[in-house]
Amino acid sequence: MAGNQDGAGQAETTGIEYIDGLYGYAMVLTRNHAEAEDLVQETYVRAIQAMGRLREGSNMKGWLFTILRNIWLNQLRKFRNGPQLVEIEGEDGVANSIAEPSKDSYEVYVSKMETERVRAAIRELPVEFREIILLREYEDLSYLEIASVLDCPVGTVMSRLGRARAKLRVLLSEMLKGASSPSVRGTK
């Protein structure tokens, strides 16, 4: 029982593995490195304070993402700045920059270009779509976990994700059309 009263000891060994994902999510929400770092730090401060109340077997990852989002929403209400998102940076995915021995340099280049197009398209999505794409596709949260983080029904998550993916397809298709056609701007 003494272990439950000392939530800080448990927090040191549990939940830290999600720090990169939380930081990426915070960057998507704030578009500012310092604010994202502060948001993640505040998330862990609050999590450590509440660790003793966390039930054994609880979804730590979903819980931390929910805390982070709630802190961000509270900050938005306080400052009335409106949500801002940032591009998803390549430095988070070191594996993307390492060339596989089986791929030639052209394949690596094409793969990098495709990744950049997807990220550019995601940046153009409305906030609620960017957020849900990040949580599902980059953080690999389940529909139920996303519903918990966003505090909405699972059906809303599914429909919003469907609309986000459809909008993303349209944006990517427009980008591909624009990239494959010669520049006509100079002729008009």
pLDDT tens, the chain, 188 aa long: 344 444 444 444 468 899 999 999 998 888 889 999 999 999 999 998 888 888 888 889 999 999 999 999 888 888 764 444 444 444 444 444 444 445 567 777 777 788 888 888 888 888 889 889 989 988 889 999 999 999 999 999 999 999 999 999 998 888 878 766 554 444 44
What pLDDT was estimated at residue 28?
Answer: 85
Amino acid 23: pLDDT: 93
| Stretch(es) of the chain classified as CATH 1.10.1740.10 | 1-86
Extract the tokens encoding 7. Answer: 């939530």
Q: Alpha-carbon distance 98 to 144, whole Å?
A: 33
Can you tell me the distance from the alpha carbon of 165 to that of 161, in angstroms, rounded to the nearest whole number? Answer: 6
CA end-to-end span of the chain? 76
- Rounded Cα distance between 66 and 73, Å, is 10
Q: Is the dihedral of CA 72, 73, 79, 82 positive or negative?
A: positive
Ranges for all domains in the chain classified under CATH 1.10.10.10: 94-179
Residues 6 or more apart whose Cβ sits within 8 Å of residue 92: 20, 24
Structure tokens at 26: 């915070």
Q: Write down the pLDDT at residue 3.
A: 42
**Second-level CATH architecture of 94-179:** Orthogonal Bundle (1.10)
pLDDT at position 52? 84
Choose which CATH entry (1.10.10.10, 1.10.1740.10, 3.30.420.40, 3.90.1420.10) describes domain 1-86.
1.10.1740.10
CB 63 within 8 A of CB 10: no
